[in-house]
Every structure is written in C-alpha cells, then in structure tokens.
Amino acid sequence: MRFQDWDVLIFSAGSQVPLREFRTACFAQAENMSSIPVLTCFMPSLSGYAPFTVSVHSWTKPSILGSNNAGYVPSVVYQWRVKLVIDGVTVATETYPEDVQWPRQIDSCTAADAEGKRLALRFPRFHRSIMSQTHWNACDDLGRIKIQLSAGYELVEQGSAKFVKILDHVVFSFQPAPLGMM
C-alpha cells in the first residue's frame, strides 16, 4: 500500500513477490486534536500463523516532523518508529535514526524464545465472525495487520529508555480474508 512517498508491502516468508491488495482506501482516525491517515486494504489470507515479512519503504528522504518540520529542535535526536500490531496486540516495535536508509524489512517479533532468538511474525487467522458484522470500521483491530509509522525521540529515565511519540504519520491496515470471499 502506498501513502504519499511511503510504501508498505507484506510478503509470505521466503517470497520476493508481495501479497496482492484489494479495495485500498484512506480514512482518518481521530486522535487528540488531530487525525491520522489510516490506509486500509484487503489481502489474501495465508494459512493461520504462517510466517511473513513486512517491508517499509520511503521513495524520498522523508521529513520526520511532517511537511514543514514545525517544532523541529536541532539538539533533539529524532527517531522513526515502526510498530506492528496483529489482532490488536503489538508484536514488534523497531526504531531507526532520523537519517535511516529505507527500505527496512521486519520479519520477527520483539519477543524472543527461551534461547533469546526472536520469534517470526505470524499471520493472523481469519475470523469468520467478521463476515457477519453489520458494520465495518477502518480502525478495528480484529484480524488486522497494522503498521504504524511515527516520529519521536528516545527518553532515558531511571536507566530505561522509552520512545516518546510526537507525531503519527500514517497507519497501514491490512485485512486478510480468503481469496474467494473478496
């Protein structure tokens, strides 16, 4: 899916061909005093819990605080954050320096197994209950793969680092469904 100069693609593990997208649309999600663009699309389901990879691209050097860089403070070390949410659960969070070279691929969760190896991203199972809903909401989480692109900085307090979000640029929301149901 593409928003401005951003592209997010989803690949089944080991494939070099991204999964197809259907019915792409843009909505606005209200948050505080602003709204965040939410791009949505349907995509073919992989078998439940199949591993997959997300690729995040920017085709230009993006402005971290928006088109006019309002509020930019030169002494602050800004970062990009890519957050992956599957079925409403944050499974991976990656931060990158402001001058990161895109694209970036994410194929594993932030969580690790008992040996310290990061777990592969797993495709959500299809929830048949979605088919009987009387409404559709672009911001729903059930059965969705969401990639949220944000700008902020790192704050270290009491020895632990935390990402402080300043701005959400866009949310890409993929809704998998069996191909015959689309």
170's tokens: 């866009």
Q: pLDDT at position 140, please?
A: 74
Instruction: Tell me if residue 73 falls in helix, strand or coil.
Output: coil
The whole-chain average pLDDT of the chain stands at 85
Write the pLDDT tens digit of every residue in 165-176. Answer: 888 899 999 988
Q: Give one DSSP letter per residue of 18-66, joined into a string.
A: PPP-EEEEEEEEEETTEEEEEEEEEEEPPSTT-BEEEEEEESS---TT-
The better pLDDT of the pair 111, 57 is held by 57
Listed residue (85, 73, 65) closest to 150, CA to CA? 65
Q: What is the pLDDT of residues 79-91, one digit of tens each?
A: 999 999 999 999 9
Q: Is the pLDDT of residue 138 over 70?
A: no
- Lookup result for tokens 């402080």: 164
- Tens-place pLDDT, residues 96-135: 999 999 999 999 998 888 888 899 899 887 766 666 666 6
The pLDDT score that the predictor gives to residue 16 is 92
pLDDT surpasses 70 at 95: yes
Residue 135 has what pLDDT?
65
- pTM of the entire predicted model: 0.86
Range 59-65 average pLDDT: 86
Per-residue pLDDT reduced to its tens digit, 2-47:
999 999 999 998 889 998 889 888 888 777 767 889 998 888 888 7
